[in-house]
Structure 1
Amino acid sequence: MLIRTPREGGEGGRAHFFATCPRGLEALLAEDIIAAGGTEVAVTPGGAGFSGSQETCYRLNLHSRIATRVLCRLGNRECQNEQDIYRLAYGIAWPKLFDVSRSIRVHVTAVKAPFRSLEYLTLKVKDAVCDRFRADVGRRPDVNTAAPDVRIHLYVTANEATLYVDTSGEPLWLRGQKIAKVAAPLKENLAAGILRLSGWTPGTPLLDPMCGSGTLLLEAAGMALDDAPGLSRAMKDFGFTKLLDYQPALWKRLCTEAAARRQTAEKLPIWGADNDADAVARARQNLAHAGLDRLIEVKHADILDLTPPAPSGVLVSNPPYGERLGELDALAAFYPRLGDALKKRFAGWYCWFLSADARLPKLIGLRPDRKIPLFNGALECRLYGFRIVAGSARK
């Protein structure tokens, strides 16, 4: 991915990258990029561009809990029509990037672009890649939309197009830890971002009283044990391993260093609960699959009756949002009871809830200290933080 095209200069073995993330977590992503050795970080909605070496790219894929994908920029140009897109793609030396035996898939993202059909743009890029291979090596790569070896991304704006190759492969929030899921699960990188935004740090008691399949618990455990999230994925799952400039010795060294940093513990001050017995079973199954079932306790309990496991700590949860009228009515009745339970039992705790329901702060009867805009996929949410004190919080 450090191959230079006529449009992409570069010195010192550095390339231009763009990492994506859930909207609202861009500042945390920038921290991860800098920690991996990235420079010239430029934050934009949904991600951040940066300059970095091949080691920077590998480190970010291995260690970032926030990134969704790490894309390496191959070239860009002004584009007014589909033929300009074709010229851009054909101008990339694809046979120097990956072998013709590798299968491909093209992804197109457009923002205020003057093109009617994204499918047609996808076809033009695919044709250009295949035509360049045929011209250079006499063969063309196969297309595989389900499980491609190489993912090519085209990003189009009103007057410019940029091509990237995906160094991550499957999205990085797929840690390879969860084998049992529940409806509308929280993605792992959003869960990690919520934990960091809450101010929770390893060693501080943490409770998720509506834990579902245990995503927040798994992420918290990984952070507490300094376990690089990329270690749980097989090496074949990363896109950079399919490229011709893949450096297995470098990748092995980084993985060995990350594995050596792993901490051990007999017990973690992390607890989960849920009033759905099936969700509890799934959370326990996921923790067992990750080798964490002896470190974290998960019980079948209702948050309204739950006794805090420590005198103080951080409570973080992703409660049901409610999308239909009956669900909204049920939540409207639930929120005041939740507020009463928090005031009665959780004095000394900092409680955080991710919700798309703007009524939550009013109906819960508590004034939030923080309201942080976040997106759960395409759904706009707020992360509400409530500091629970004994007695009245009014001055």
Structure 2
Amino acid sequence: MSRSGRPTDDKPLPPLYAMTHGGIESTAADEITRDLGGEVKKTARGLVVFRMEQLTDKVLSLRTTEDVFLMAWGSDSLTYKAEDLDTLRTWTARKPDWEHLFKLHHKIRPKTKGRPTYHIVCQMQGEHGFRRADARTAFTEGLAGKIPNGWHYNNENAWLEIWLTIYSKTAVCGVRLSDRTMRHRTYKLDHVAASLRPTVAAAMVRLAGIGPGMTVLDPFCGAGTILAEALDVAEQRSKAGKVRVVGGDIDPNAVFVTSQNLENVGRADLARWDATALPLETASVDRIVSNPPFGKQLSSIEKIGPLYEAAAEEWDRVLKPGGRAVLLAMEHEGLKRVLQSHRWAQVRQTRIRLLGQPSVLSVWNKPEW
């Protein structure tokens, strides 16, 4: 046996990769490195490739990733031509040790009762000299004879899924270890319009740097996704010092939906309020994490400026000197202008797409004095 507890004749663990929401790759890489102990080898748009010394179900606890895979093969040299189909077919057939990958998958996802089921997924973005249907056919042909006899193909909730993802010049193929609950979460029972993706909310909470004893505020809580992710961090920090999570919304339905979604997550202080007149004491909050309303949610785009100005007055009042805010907004320039008028300093900016629209995730520090 080796020091790690693995038999010395074990085959080496292949790389893993995580799919992320575009724009939060660096935050996901930080989580993989710091919390999982992984070694990040490469990042690309929506993708983080990493290695682990050992494979455990801890990979399923990642909060900022949409899915995690065992890598079968990867390439960043597609030609955009039809000849790429031969490459996809050949690499799928010859490069991976499928038997080894399946055994590793079974370690993390033990087989349930009944006949084993599998599913083949092909995703493609960008212009190529072939259709997605053509890529899927080539991929399926490469997998011929690799799936054990007796396994049943199933489109819904298959035990084992093999994915091919093509984006521009990049193609990556792997065995999915996660399931839909990684990206959708089990707590998300109800939704409101423009509800935030949990993995993006988790990235925002991580960027906030929540520590023991802090008070965290979301003044526009919506369906409570940010609050839920903050409560997850609060639970992790509870032994070192309680974290208080506070949120509210002007919409009574949003407050109700939030209370439902948080029922099995943890306790937050919830209230129906006007975010431009918060019922909170001055300098009582350590972190603000929020996705404020954007123009298309209001009756007119002209209303967003006054809303941001009034909300920023309250943020500046309740946030402690030296405190931090992590904000996600489509109308970033207007938000930036308002916050800079309060002498807040932007320390990070990341462009992402929110509900198909370009948005900016920004991190701000309030001055100490």
Identify the TM-score tier after normalising by the shorter chain.
0.7 to 0.9
Mapping of 1:107-146 within 5 angstroms?
107-110=122-125, 114-129=128-143, 131-132=144-145, 137=149, 141-144=152-155, 146=156
Alignment CA distance shift 1:40-1:191 (3 Å): closer
Determine if contact 1:67/1:172 at 8 Å carries over to the other structure.
yes
Note if contact 2:117-2:151 (Cα within 8 Å) is conserved in structure 1. Answer: no
Deviation at 1:187, TM superposition (A): 1.6
Q: What is the CA–CA distance in structure 1 between the aligned matches of 2:23 and 2:138, rounded to whole Å?
A: 33
State the shift of 1:140 in Å: 6.4
Match of 2:72 in 1: 74
Return the letter of the residue paired with 2:116.
S
CA distance in 2, matches of 1:288, 1:159: 44
C-alpha distance 263-285 of structure 1, shift in aligned 2 (>3 A): farther
| Rounded Cα–Cα distance in structure 2 between residues aligned with 1:44 and 1:181 | 30
User: For the Cα contact (< 8 Å) 2:164–2:172, is it kept in 1?
Assistant: yes
The offset of 1:284, in angstroms, is 1.0
Q: Which has the higher relative contact order, 1 or 2, with Cα contacts under 8 A spaced 6 or more apart?
A: 1
Q: Which residue in the other structure is 1:369 paired with?
A: 345
- Which of 254, 263, 285 is equivalent to 1:288? 263
1:193-208 pair list within 5 angstroms: 193-208=203-218
Call closer, same or farther: CA 1:335–1:148 in 2, change over 3 Å.
same
- 1:102 equivalenced with 2:105 (yes/no): no
TM-score, length-scaled by structure 1: 0.73
Residue 304 of structure 1 aligns to a residue whose secondary structure is coil
Q: Match for residue 213 of structure 1?
A: 223
- AA aligned to 1:28 is T
Q: Within the alignment, does 1:271 sit opposite 2:246 as a pair?
A: yes
Instruction: Tell me the TM-score normalized by structure 2.
Output: 0.78
**Cα distance per residue 1:289-330 (max 9 Å; x no partner):** 33x2xx321000011111325634212211112237943122
Q: Is the 8 A contact 1:225 1:264 kept in 2?
A: no
Match status 1:297 vs 2:297: no
- Counterpart AA for 1:39: E
SS at match of 2:133: helix
Task: State the shift of 1:355 in Å.
Answer: 0.5
Q: How far apart in 1 are the matches of 2:328 and 2:235?
A: 25
User: Which deviates the most, 97-106 or 185-194?
Assistant: 97-106
CA deviation after TM superposition for structure 1 residue 147, in Å: 2.8
Alignment of 1:109-188 (within 5 A): 109-110=124-125, 114-129=128-143, 131-132=144-145, 137=149, 141-144=152-155, 146-156=156-166, 161-170=171-180, 172-188=182-198
Shift in CA distance, 386/155, structure 1 to aligned 2, threshold 3 Å: closer
Which of 323, 326, 337 is the matching residue for 1:352? Answer: 326
Q: 1:75 to 1:196 in 2, by over 3 A?
A: closer
Counterpart Cα distance in 1 of 2:338 and 2:167 = 42
Q: Check the 8 A contact 2:14/2:70 in 1, yes or no.
A: yes
Q: In the alignment, what sits opposite 1:7?
A: none
Answer yes or no: is 1:333 the counterpart of 2:347.
no
Higher strand proportion (structure 1 or 2): 2
Distance 1:387 1:32 in 2: 22
Q: Matches of 2:240 and 2:367 in 1, distance apart?
A: 34
Q: Is the 8 Å Cα contact of residues 73 and 165 (structure 1) preserved in structure 2?
A: yes
Tell me, in whole angstroms, the C-alpha distance in 1 between the residues paired with 2:91 and 2:190: 43
2:233 alignment partner in structure 1: 223
Question: Are 1:189 and 2:199 an aligned pair?
Answer: yes
Between the aligned residues of both structures, percent identity stands at 20
Note if contact 1:75-1:163 (Cα within 8 Å) is conserved in structure 2.
yes
Q: State the SS of the aligned residue for 2:70.
A: strand
Letter aligned with residue 116 of structure 1: F
Post-superposition CA distance 1:118-155 (Å, at most 9, x none): 122123323443x3258x73x564141x4333222213
1:65 correspondence with 2:40:
no
SS of residue paired to 2:23: coil
Aligned length: 337
The change in CA–CA distance for 1:324 and 1:285 in structure 2 (over 3 A counts) is closer
**Structure 2 gap ranges (5+):** 1-8, 104-110
Hey, what's the Cα distance between the residues in 1 that align with 2:26 and 2:170?
Answer: 26
Q: Distance in 1 between matches of 2:224 and 2:360?
A: 20
The Cα shift of 1:381 comes to 2.2
Where does residue 31 of structure 1 map in the other structure?
30
Letter in 2 for 1:201: G
Counterpart amino acid of 1:84?
A: T
Cα deviation, residue 333, structure 1: 2.9
Alpha-carbon separation, structure 1, partners of 2:99 and 2:182: 26
Q: State how far apart, in whole Å, the 2-side matches of 1:326 and 1:122 are.
A: 44
Q: 1:42 to 1:206 in 2, by over 3 A?
A: same
CA RMSD of aligned residues (A): 3.3
Q: Residues 51, 133 of structure 1: CA spacing in aligned structure 2 closer, same or farther, 3 A cutoff?
A: closer
Q: C-alpha separation between the residues in 1 aligned to 2:39 and 2:366?
A: 40
